[in-house]
Amino acid sequence: IKTQATLEGEEYVLNGLKSYVSNAPIADVFVIYATTNPSYGHMGISAFVVEKEKAGIVIGEPFETMGLNSSLISTVEFKDCRVPKSHRIGEEGKGTNIFAKSMEWERSCLFATYVGMMERQLETTINHASKRKQFRKTIGKNQAISHRIVDMKLRLEAARLLIYRACWLMDRGEDAVMEVSLAKLAVSEAAIQSSLDAIQIHAGRGYLTQIGIEQNLRDAVPSTIFSGTSEIQRDLVAKKLGL
């Protein structure tokens, strides 16, 4: 983390650039992670609450993205931005621990929305396959179509149960790092594959932006990137397995 937070009296002075900040253009408050002691490495990172109105904050123009258009993303730059010590979250140097725990909740609760997306997607696809006719029968009677829909259902229920288990463990205060990573992996990769299947089943209609089927795919692609890439999730699981 290159953003620096230097303590001066009762204030920290923040300097640095955050490259991809979700909802930055419309946010009122930011949670910022900055290096307070470079010699301590990841143990020298602290977390801060910073209001948008603070002097020294420059919010960039929203990026143009392929999906998740309701969640604007931009840069946030700090130029000698002064933050009171009281706005530090927890102890100095505990930012990494705070980030890791917040990521567990983000990777589970946030990705539950994708479970909802896949459920709606499945219902829409079943409805289409039950009404659309080709060669004097509904396309759902075609095994190639019905088996693809069954696979969508399988991914949905597997992802849902993994999310439930991860949240159950966290509610009990137990270690859920592996389960959260498994859930994030399953949900994000299932969302992409099921979106591709839905487009294929809807055929030409699935390719049209007016229908909304293709939007699911555009929204699903970034799910394997934000909150830790799929590769990072596999690394976390591998470490838990002793590899």
* Catalytic residue list: 106
- At residue 218's C-alpha, the angle toward residues 214 and 222, to 5°, is 160
DSSP bridge partners of 21: 74
- Round to whole Å and give the CA distance between 22 and 141: 43
Residue of 79, 65, 78, 86 lying closest to 23 (CA atoms): 65
Contact 86, 14 (CB under 8 A): no
- Round to whole Å and give the CA distance between 93 and 147: 52
* Residues across the chain: 243
| SS (HEC) of 215-242 | HHHHHHHHHHCCCCCHHHHHHHHHHHCC
